[in-house]
Amino acid sequence: MKHLLLLTTSLLIGVCVFAQSGSAQKVKWNFSSKKLNDKTYELRLSAIVDGNYHIYAQNVGVEGPVATSFTFNKNPLVVLNGKVKEEGKIIKKHEEVWGGNVNFYEKKVEFVQLVQLKSKVKTNIGGTVEFMVCDDKQCLPPSEVNFKIDIGG
């Protein structure tokens, strides 16, 4: 019985350490907004990637790696205009491990979402970004980061 308890405890500690070493440890996110006109704002979701790691684009190009994706919380005062756009130097590279061409960014990428306020109010828009990073030796487990960006006012 003691051996089973020791094994279970060891496994739980290993899982916790592994979970803390995920992709979020290699990417620093910055979230901001820029007023474009009376009711239109540009949300900027910027990723700065550490070391030799890269972050995958929203359209990875193959099955396997986790694409960067955004989920915005519903806000009855805000309308999303179009899809999230990417600004940065995209790299398209054939990777044998994924069996095809993949799309990713190194060092820095900015994701931009336009939003429209339904009236002149101060509010915020929140959500989650899910992403995964890899280098030439390993991929880290995907991570999710919550965000909240103030707009209006």
In the prediction, which pLDDT does 21 show? 59
Domains and CATH numbers, the chain: 2-152 (2.60.40.1250)
Query: Tens digit of pLDDT for each residue in 80-127?
Result: 999 999 999 999 999 998 999 999 999 999 999 999 999 999 999 999
CB 113 within 8 A of CB 29: no
3-state secondary structure of 14: helix
CB 56 within 8 A of CB 68: yes
CB 90 within 8 A of CB 107: no
Beta strands 78-87 and 122-131 are unpaired
Q: What pTM, to 2 d.p., does this model score? A: 0.84
With tokens 């994706």, the residue in question is: 69
Query: Tens digit of pLDDT for each residue in 89-99?
Result: 999 999 998 99
Q: Which residues, including other chains, have CB under 8 Å from residue 109's CB and lie 6 or more apart?
A: 46, 47, 49, 55, 57, 86, 87, 88
For residue 77 the two structure tokens come to 């005062």
Q: Residue 149: pLDDT band by 50, 70, 90 thresholds?
A: very high
For residue 27, list its beta bridge partners.
49
In the prediction, which pLDDT does 7 show? 36
